[in-house]
Every structure is written in structure tokens, then in C-alpha cells.
Structure 1
Amino acid sequence: MTGGELYDRCARDAAAAVIANYSTSFALATRLLGPRVRPQVREIYALVRVADEIVDGAAEAAGLDRDQQRVLLDSLEIETLAAIDRGFSVDLIVHAFATTARACGIGEDLIRPFFASMRTDLDLAAHDAASHESYVYGSAEVVGLMCLQVFVNAGHPAPRIPDARLVEGARRLGAAFQDINFLRDQADDSERLGRDYLGIGGATDRATVLERIDRDLDAAAAVIPDLPRDCRRAVTTAHGLFRELAVRLRNSDENVRVSVPRTVKARIAAQAIAGRAPRRSTP
């Protein structure tokens, strides 16, 4: 193994450790991906997680103010784009992501909107319909599109443009995931962070958001069977986990942070492994 190969492996391992420690649901779904795409999806998640920690978690816990957080976020964006261009970064997480981005055609058109949405968390506390749409595109839909680039292009000699139906499905699934997380974290976002992503009580209400989530999940479910075979079980599992969260949100008090029990997670994963189609909101 050459020095470059060893460094690449260490970077992949670092990305895998991030997802394993931060998200049991996505870690479960990612384990169901085929080996062709599994490391790359972990690398996308790891970079996204680090950026989120700058604006929401670890940086603030370390005592950094918003100006310092902004400097770090800007630096991470600059280093990510530079690493894609040069093929190397001293930051293992950035290096892993950049390697995947170069191989699978993840470019500035997806990376810059992501960082723009992360930067919004430092500047905007309450969202209206327009800013919500823009934020969700950058924070979640483009992440789905990054994963789609991996699904379509990993292992191929040159990146290809995904089918338009798959692009729409990836965006709708990302949007549903984000709105579900907004609903789950609504109390914490308001009380701890002083943020309102959904405008519930103003121009919209909880039922309207849940209906939008159902439509987005159904739109995504329609195209999951068209994904490459080694991606379907994992995406079906992730879809099923968030469908279950949506059901529990509909049946819970808005101040309760719902979760999916391990036994239910296992059942959803087993159904996906057995080839069951993604669950729709209506029969």
C-alpha cells in the first residue's frame, strides 16, 4: 500500500467513525449500501456533520461566537473546494469528501448552496416560505443530490448526469427528511437556538407541514425502484425510518421529540432487505 493509499484509507475510516457516532438511523441504512457506494456516502455525511457542528453544536460548546463560527465555516468551504481541485487535504474528513467529489462529479453547484444554508443558521432566526425553501434546498436537497451522484457514478470511469426523475426524487426525499427533523426538533430549535424553520403558528401549521412531508415521501418512493440495485435497500430503509417518524409525529404532542424504537428500525430494515416496496402514505 502506497502512502497515498494509506492516507485515503485513514480518511475513509475517519468518515465512517463520524456517521457511526452521530446517527444510528443513517448508520443502519448506510450499512445496507453495496460496497461500491458505501464509503462515499459516509464521506458525504461526515463533511455535512462537521459543518453542522460548526453552526449548531461543538463550536458553540467550545465557546466560539458567531463571527468565529462564520470564519470556520468559510474556511471549511474554501478548503473543501481547494481539496477537490488539488486532490489532497490535511483535513481527513475533507480529503475523504474531496476524493468522492472528484470521482463522482460533485461540484460547486451542490457544495456552495450547502454552505450557504449552513451560513444562514448564523444570520437568520425565523424563516418565511421563501427562505425555508432556499434553506431546505441547500441543507438537505443538495445532500440527496450528492448521494445520487455517488449512486450513479461510483466505479464508472467518468461522471454521468443522473436521470431527471431520480434528481426530483432525491430532492423530494431530502426535503422530507429535513422537514421531519424540523418538526422533531421544533421545541429545542426554539428554546435553545432561538430558530423557527417552519413558521408554524404564522403562515403555516403542523398539519400542512405533515401533508407536504407525505407528498415528498410518496414522490421519492415512486423512483426508489429505479435506483441502482446496490442502493435500493438502503434508501428504502432510510425512507421507511422517516416515514415511521412522520406517522409518529402526526400522532404525538408537538413538544415531544419522537423516535423509532430499535425493534421497529430492525423490522423496517428487514422489510427493505426482503425487497418490500417503500411505504406510501396512502394504499
Structure 2
Amino acid sequence: MNDWRGRTLGTRTATYDEARAILYALAAGAPATALDLVFERDLRVLPTFALTLAQWAPDELGPAGAFDVSTAVHGSQRLRVRKPLPPSGTIAMEARVGEVWDKGRAAVFEVVVESEYFDATWSIFAPGSGGFGGERGPSSRRRPSADPARTLTLRTSPNQAALYRLLGDRHHMHIDPEAAKAAGMPRPFMHGLCTLAALTLPIAEAHEAHPADLAELDGRFAAPVFPGDELTIETWDDSGAILFEATTGDRTVISGGRAVFG
């Protein structure tokens, strides 16, 4: 597995227009009243839209033979914004495998995508690929011991996964009940990146920030979210950053969350 560390995954350009950026904002949960997110006149692009443009990179790794795509899961996500995305344009990206961590019975592959607008890292948890004698890697960020500073509520839309898959991730398990059951889920579930992006909207509002001013974002995907679920978001202030966790019922769905707004 150490042979994968540093391996290039190539380069890619992605072209998008204002309609695609607006569709993304709506899929992430932006209301029609958020005119600078959903109306082309003064459009600002949500920074997490970049993750849909860069999805090709982690999708390259499995077919290249790094791990079994039928069992690998998206473990966590990191985004660092370099400068705002334009309302429309063409973005050049290059991708590589960063670290490969040995978790014993599994490996974690970090896929790094870099561009002039953002840096993003996908952590892919691959069961059966560990035990190769590599370093275990850093531990996940723990829940803060203090009481949360704020508790927020987010109601996801029953149509949210159906909308989000139009941005490029069309895995059938997010729309087809039979495909979801084959994946071990009772019904179609939301994309982890959709859930993570959706959380940034109420977090920004509660902290008197604009969601398009997101500068840094981290989150670990702990459990699936189903369209229509109501999420409880707890936040903590941490030296200019916002730490957060999201739950639905008794399940933590996003852990180790961290956001910074510029």
C-alpha cells in the first residue's frame, strides 16, 4: 500500500455555468430568498460546490486497483478555500494520493485535489486493505468536553438527494430503493457531501457569517442521513473556528466538524 502514497491521479478541468452553481445551492438547502446564492444577478458560489467539480479524483482511485470499491466508504472530508469561485468558469485541478494510513484491518487513502481556488482532501476508508506495516495516522477529532455554545436544527428535504445527484454523483443508492437495500440501507440516503454542505448554512447564519465566506471545512461521516431527516447541530467556539457535530435521533451523523468563515 505504501506504493500508492504520492501517486498522481492526473489533471482535469471542469467547466460550469451559473445555472449549475445555483442548482448546487438549492441542493445544499439554500432557500429561494437567499438571492445571492440562487439568483444570477449578484451570484456568490458556495465554496463546497468545488467538491462536486473535484469528485472525479476519488472516483479514479478505486478502479485503479487501490481498494475494493464495493466495500470502501467515504470517511471524512477537508476543504481549504484559496479564493472565491467565480459564478461561472473553467477550473483546472490536479490530484494525487497523499497519505495511506494503516488502521490494521483497513487502510485510509487520502486523495488530495489542488487548484488555484481550493485544496480538498477525501479520506477513503478501505476495509481489508490494512496490515501492511504503515503508520496508523492521526486520530479523529474528539467531541469537546464543554457544553455546546449553540444548538441548531436543520430539516433536510425529501427531495435533497435526488437534487444533489444531478451535480455528478449519480450512485443509484441515493435514488433507487433496491440499490439502497443492496448497499445495506433501508432506503435511499443522502450523499455525505450534501449533508456536510447543508450544515454550513445554519451554522453560518447562527454565527452571523455568510455561507459563501466559508474558508475551511472538515467533517467525518459517522452515519447516513436520510432525506427528510431532522438534524440537531451542536457548535462550539474554538479560537476563531467553529467546531460542530450533527445528530439525528440517537445517531451521530457528522462528527469532528470544524468550520472557519473568512
- Write 1 or 2 for the structure with the bigger share of strand: 2
Give the alignment's TM-score, normalised by structure 2.
Answer: 0.27
Give the alignment's TM-score, normalised by structure 1.
Answer: 0.26
- Write 1 or 2 for the structure with the bigger share of helix: 1
